[in-house]
Each structure stands twice: as structure tokens, then as C-alpha cells.
Structure 1
Amino acid sequence: MIANAIRQSARAGHRLLSIRRTYKTQRYLFIYLTLALPLLYFFVTRLVPIVYSFNISLREWDVLSPDKPFVGLDNFKSLFADEVFRRAIGNTFLFVAVGIPGQLAAGLAAALLLQSATRFRGFFRTVYFIPYVTSIVAVSWVFRWLLMPNGWVNAMLLKLGFDAQLFLQSPNQAPYVIALTMIWQSIGFQMLIFVTGLEGIPSEYREAAKIDGAGSWRRFWHITLPLLNPVILFSAVIAGISYLQTFAQIVSMTQDGGPLNSTRTLVYHIYKLAFKNFEMGSASAATVILFVIILAFTLLQLKVLNKKVEY
């Protein structure tokens, strides 16, 4: 009797173990199948076009012709020999150099002001964030209208005794005007990111520094700013990619990257090559160059800005 009970108990244990193994196998199978669907979608919509673009960059193709003869690196050589393309790369880096520091500084300043506010904090967050969710085209056209030679801004400058400015019609002023427009529209996004980072810093650090006699500036420079490093890194990477892909503002505010190609960016040059000149090989080669620039710039930011701070 005891032996039979032991054997039955052992068989029940084996059945339970088998059920558990089956359940575990089915569970992991469901998880992997669930993950496979978005991965398949990503592969079809992202990786395949990227590989195809790399292939087209090594060929000569004008869309209308079915032939795509292999030309190797000729498309890349012709691009770098083109003065307009080199100007587009320079303008793109100008937007990056002006936009990233300006965007981070404006967003951090807005976040610090909101953190110190005691009333209507939610209202001010909403006000700052509204431009970010507004259509880029709408914002660009409003600024274009304000900055026209006979627009509101010049009218105010004349009333104040200053000379009227060309703004978007000046090769020297237009790039900075567009960069400032992008900074203004992105303040709300950066503000929310920095507010989240500021709220995650323990108040004990600042209180201890205050007791030790550190002023507001020293507390900000030696405590707040270093502990915001992960937030600054994230914001800088997102802003860098955004400025490297500047397009809608160019089309809306200058229409053709003017004046004198002073606002033509790399993405806009790709658009002109592909959909105006139908030079798909050159456009794909420019796309590959943009991909390399974004990758290298992001890795550089991760290397330079990613610093560990411990207290």
C-alpha cells in the first residue's frame, strides 16, 4: 500500500512537472511570437528600404528608365564635387551648432522657472507646450508673415527707431531666423524633459549644499547640472537628430532653400535630387551620407556627454 501510494505520488509529481513545462513552453512561444510581429514589421518597413537605398546609391537611375547600371562610388564623388551639396552640409551643421545649445538652454531655463513657481504651474506648462504640438507648417508660415519686409516685426523696429531688417531675404540672417524659430517651437518639449529630470533630483543634495554655504549658482553648477547629465544627453541626441533632418521649416519659410542656398539643408537637397531632378542614385547616395553623419554625431554625443556623477 505504501509503495503504491509512493508510485502514485511520483506519477502525479511527474504529470504536474510536465504540465508546468508545457505551460512554460507555451508562454515563451506566445511571447516570442508577439515580439516577432513588430520585428517583422520593422524589418519590412525599415531595414529593407535602408538596404535598398544603399544598393541604389551605387547605381545610376532616373526613375523613368528601368535600367540601373552599377557605377560604384561615382554618385558619392559627384556629390562632394558639387558646391551646392557642400553648402547644404555646411548649413545643416550650422543649424545643429546654433539649435542644440539654444534649445537646451531655453528648455532648461523654462524648467527652472516652472520649478520655482508656486502657483499656476500646470497652466504655464500647457502654454509652453502648445507650440510643440502645433503644426510645423503653421508655425513656419506665421513667422514668415511676421518677418516679411513689411511685416509686424519690421513695423515695430521702425517705431522704436531701428532700421528694418531683411530677415528671411538675407543670406546672413535667414539661417539664424529659421534656427530661432525651431528653438522657439521646441521649448515646450525640452521643458517637460528637464522638469522631469529636476523632479528626480533628491532635494537633500541641494539642502546640504545650502547648509554648507553654497549659493544658488554653485548649487546649480555643481549639483543640479551634473545630476541632469542623463537628461541633457537624451535631449541633445534628440535635438541633434531633429536639426540634422531639418526640412519642413525650409520649404515653408524659404520655399527653395534660399536666398542663395543659404538655408538649403541636406534633407532638402535630397528631396530636390529625388523628386525634382529624379536622380535617385545621387539622392540615395546623399541619404547614405546623412545616415553616416547622424550615426557618427550621435555616437560622438554619447561619448562626450555621457558622464557618471556620484555623490
Structure 2
Amino acid sequence: MIANAIRQSARAGRRLLSIRLTYKTQRYLFIYLMLALPLLYFIGTRLVPIVYSFNISVREWDVLSPDKPYVGLANFKGLFADEVFRKSIGNTFLFVAVGVPGQLAAGLAVALLLQSVTRFRGFFRTVYFIPYVTSIVAVSWVFRWLLMPNGWVNAALLKLGLDAQLFLQSPHQAPYVIALSMIWQSVGFQMLIFITGLQGIPNVYYEAAHIDGAGPWRRFRHITIPLLNPVILFSAVIAGISYLQAFAQIVSMTQDGGPLNSTRTLVFHIYKLAFKSFEMGSASAATVVLFVLILAFTLLQLKVLNRKVEY
């Protein structure tokens, strides 16, 4: 009887283990299925078009002609021989050089100020974040209206006894005006990211530094900035990609990338090639150049800004 009881217990244990394994297998199958659906969507809507654009970039491709002959690197050679294309790359780098540091500095400054506020903190966060969720076109048109030759900004300058400015009608001022509008709209996003990072820094570091006689600037330089390094890296990468892809602001504030192509970015040039001139081969080649620039810029930021800090 004892042997029978042992055998029955063993069989029951094996059945229970089989049920558990079946449940575990079903659970993992469900998880992998849920992961596979967005992966297939990503492959179909992102990866396949990227690979297809590489194919188009080496062909003489236009909308009207049925033939798409292989031309190798001819599209790329034609792009870099084009002065307007080279100008668009230079303008894109100018937006990145002005916009990324300005956006990070403004976002960090606002975050530090809000950290020191004890009352109405939620109200101020909401106010600063509203421009980020506002339509880019709406914000761009407001800036365009304010900076018209007879707009409010020039009216205020004249009342102060200063000369009126051309702003968006000046090839020297227009790129900086557009970069400023992009900085203003993105401050709220950067503020939230930096506030999250600041809240993750233990106060014990600041207290120890204060006891050692470190002033506000030294605490900011040797504690805040190093411990915010992961946040700074993330914000710089996101901001850099957004400025490399600047388009809506250009169309809304200048319409044609002017004056004198001073605000014509790489994405705007791709738009002109593809949907105005219908030169899909050259547009795809420019897209490949943009892809390489974004990849190189992101890797450079990861290399330069990614530092491990331990206290």
C-alpha cells in the first residue's frame, strides 16, 4: 500500500508539473505574440521603407518615367555638386549648433528655478509645458506675426528708441529666429526631463558639500552636472535629432526656406526634391545622407557625453 501511495503521488506530481509547464508555455507564447505584432508593424512601416529608400537612392527614379535604371553613386555626386544642397547641410548644422545647447541650457535653468519654488510649482510646470504640446504650425505663425516688419516686436523696439529689425526677412537673422522659436517651444519638455533627474540626486551629497564649504556654483559644477550626465545625454540626443529633422518651422515661418536659402534645411531640401521636382532618386540619396548624419551625430554624442560618475 505504501508503494502504491508513492506511485500515485509521483503520478500526481508529474501531472501537476505538466500543467504548470503548459501554463508557462502558453504565457510565454502570449508574450511573444504581443511583442511580435508591434515588431511586424515597425518592420513594415519603418525598416522596409528605409531599405527601399537605399534602393531608390542608386537609381534614376522619377514619378513619370516607367524605367528606373541603376546609376550607382551618380545621385550622391550630383547632390554634393549642388550648392543649394551644401547650403542646406550647413544650415542644418547651424540649427544644431545653436539649438541643442540653447535648449539644454534653457531647460536646465527653468528646472533649477522650479526646484527652488515651494508654492505653485505645479502651475508653473504646466505653464512651461503648454508650448510643447501646442501645434508647431500655430507657434511658428505666432512668431512670424510678432516678428513682421510692422509687428509687435519692432513696435516695441521703436518705442525704446532702437532700430527696427528685419528678423525673418534677413538672411543673417532668420536662422537664429527660427532656432529661438524651436528652443522656446521645447523648454517645457527639457524642463520635465531635468526635473526628473534633479529629483533623483540624493540631498546627502549637497549637505556634505555644504559642510565642506562648497558654494552654490561648486555644488552645481561638481555634483549637479556630473550626476545629471545620463539626463543630459538623453536630452542632447533627442534635441539633436529634432534639429536635424527641422521642417515644419521652416515651412510655416519662411514658406520657401528663405531668404536666399538661409533657412533651407536638409529635410526641407528633400521635400523640394521629392514633391516639387519629383526627383525621387536624388531625394532618396539626400535621405540616406540625413540618415548617416543622424547616426553619426548620435554616436558622437554617446561617445562624448556618456561618462560614468561615482561618489
* Counterparts of 2:150 and 2:284, CA distance in 1: 41
* Aligned pairs for 1:245-284 within 5 A: 245-284=245-284
The answer to whether the aligner puts 1:87 opposite 2:70 as a matched pair is no
* Counterparts of 1:111 and 1:15, CA distance in 2: 59
* Counterparts of 1:127 and 1:84, CA distance in 2: 40
Query: Structure 1: which amino acid aligns with 2:165?
Result: Q
Secondary structure of the residue aligned to 2:93 is helix
Query: Structure 1: which amino acid aligns with 2:155?
Result: A
Count of residue pairs the alignment pairs up: 311
Q: Tell me what 2:150 maps to.
A: 150
Structure 1: gaps of 5 or more residues: none
* Counterparts of 2:129 and 2:13, CA distance in 1: 60
Q: Tell me what 2:165 maps to.
A: 165
* Counterparts of 2:150 and 2:164, CA distance in 1: 9
* Counterparts of 1:7 and 1:45, CA distance in 2: 57
TM-score (norm 1): 0.99
Query: Structure 2: which amino acid aligns with 1:307?
Result: R
Q: Tell me what 2:69 maps to.
A: 69
Q: Tell me what 1:220 maps to.
A: 220
1:290 CA displacement: 0.2
1:71 CA displacement: 0.6
TM-score (norm 2): 0.99
Structure 2: gaps of 5 or more residues: none
Query: Structure 2: which amino acid aligns with 1:89?
Result: I
CA RMSD of aligned residues (A): 0.7
1:3 CA displacement: 1.4
* Counterparts of 1:28 and 1:143, CA distance in 2: 52
Q: Tell me what 2:204 maps to.
A: 204
Q: Deviations over 1:25-69 (max 9, x none)?
A: 111111111111111111111111111111000111111122111
* Counterparts of 2:20 and 2:123, CA distance in 1: 53
1:5 CA displacement: 1.1
* Counterparts of 1:309 and 1:45, CA distance in 2: 39
* Counterparts of 2:81 and 2:92, CA distance in 1: 18
Query: Structure 2: which amino acid aligns with 1:99?
Result: G
Q: Tell me what 1:97 maps to.
A: 97
**Identical positions, percent:** 89
Q: Tell me what 2:233 maps to.
A: 233
* Counterparts of 1:174 and 1:121, CA distance in 2: 35
